[in-house]
Amino acid sequence: MTSTRRVAVVVGSLRKDSFNRKMAKTLAAMAPAPLSLEIVEIGQLPLYNQDDDATPPAASVAFKEKIAGADAVLFVTPEYNRSVPGVLKNAIDVGSRPYGKSAWKGKPAAVMTVSPGAMGGFGANHHLRQSLVFLDMPVLQQPEAYVGSAGDLFDDAGGLKKPETQQFLAKFLAAFAAWIERTAKTPA
């Protein structure tokens, strides 16, 4: 029997009612066993400053502990200026420092970008993947998850409106669960 795999979900938007937060909540609600998805907040993180490496701020320590305690990481983010939002890049930096003590190292990962535009955050998705390679995070390659036209995805209660979107998300989550089992450093 496979044990529960804890997945830290990092949402790249701070907006309370963002499409990406809605998507993260939807994914958490429909995650198949053995996945258990939990959003790890990044809005409280101070800007990374190498001067703080010896005595990092409490919020940074708590964030790194949550990431270190996860079996895998799912990034759900918008695209800002064809890249990742600054708040997400800061969270990546906080979790990876000081050099050699990264909380991200070796954790299986997946990336989903959600955007009101037609391209679905393609630029952010690929920029984020570049950082994850450096962080030594094996990233799910297929299915790729560029979710466009986000303004048409959710109803007023935050639920999905389209069955085909739910089918895609189920396929994505199943592939991620299999990816975690293949690449995780600790057996289930």
Global pTM value: 0.95
Q: What is the pLDDT, as a whole number, of residue 187?
A: 61
Taking only the tens place, the pLDDT of each residue in 27-59 is: 999 999 999 999 999 999 999 999 999 999 999
Name the class of domain 5-183.
alpha beta
Residue 60 CA to residue 69 CA, distance in Å, equals 14
Q: What is the pLDDT, as a whole number, of residue 117?
A: 87
**H helix intervals, the chain:** 19-30, 58-68, 86-96, 122-134, 163-183
- Which pLDDT band holds residue 1 (cuts at 50, 70, 90)? very low
Residues 6 or more apart whose CB falls under 8 angstroms from that of 184 comprise 5, 71, 72, 108
Domain assignments of the chain as residue spans, ordered by start: 5-183
